[in-house]
């Protein structure tokens, strides 16, 4: 996975682009991984771990009614997270991640492994629904980070 980060840091540097992350279920793994690459300070702007609903509302300005109506793990919350992160960070590319990493907390409607990843670059916003078939928390977190990286690479 570090090869993907290295590739992304090099591409972002070459294109003079910046990136920011708002993470929930990954708990900062995405930000931690990119900062492990030398030279990432040129391209990485900020990483917010908005784990609680309070943090999503307070820091990312996700409307309380969005979380109440759709839940923290939803297309709508992910979209609000990435759009508002983009405004806050002024980065060229913004990524948001929200999901159920398990091993507890899953429901029939929102099973363990359900993760929404949002990407915003300019006027383009993509929200991808993922269902990682695992009960292992760290595996779901790693797969979420990998998927976010692939989304960044696809837009570069």
Look at residue 90 and tell me whether its pLDDT is greater than 70. Answer: yes
Domain total for the chain?
A: 1
- State how far the Cα of 145 lies from the Cα of 44, in Å rounded to an integer: 15
pLDDT tens track for 98-135: 999 999 989 999 999 999 999 999 999 999 999 999 98
Question: The domain spanning residue 31 has which CATH number?
Answer: 3.90.950.20
Confidence (pLDDT) at 135: 87
Give the range of the structural domain holding residue 52, as residue numbers without chain letter.
Answer: 2-155
Contact yes or no for 45/89 (Cβ under 8 A): yes
Mean pLDDT of the chain: 96
- State how far the Cα of 146 lies from the Cα of 33, in Å rounded to an integer: 11
Contact yes or no for 73/101 (Cβ under 8 A): no
């Amino acid at each position: 996975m570090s090869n993907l980060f290295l590739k992304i840091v090099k591409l972002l540097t070459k294109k003079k682009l910046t990136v920011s992350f708002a993470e929930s279920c990954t708990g900062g793994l995405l930000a931690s991984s990119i900062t492990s690459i030398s030279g990432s300070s040129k391209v990485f702007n900020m990483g917010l771990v908005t784990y609680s609903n309070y943090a999503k509302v307070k820091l990312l300005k996700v409307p309380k009614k969005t979380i109440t109506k759709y839940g923290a793990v939803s297309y709508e919350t992910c979209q609000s997270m990435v759009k508002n992160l983009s405004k806050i960070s002024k980065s060229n590319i913004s990524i948001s991640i929200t999901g159920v990493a398990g091993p507890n907390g899953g429901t029939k409607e929102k099973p363990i492994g359900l993760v929404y990843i949002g990407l915003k670059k300019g006027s383009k916003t993509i929200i991808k629904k993922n269902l990682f078939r695992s009960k292992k928390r760290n595996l779901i977190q790693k797969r979420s980070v990998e998927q976010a990286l692939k989304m960044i690479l696809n837009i570069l």
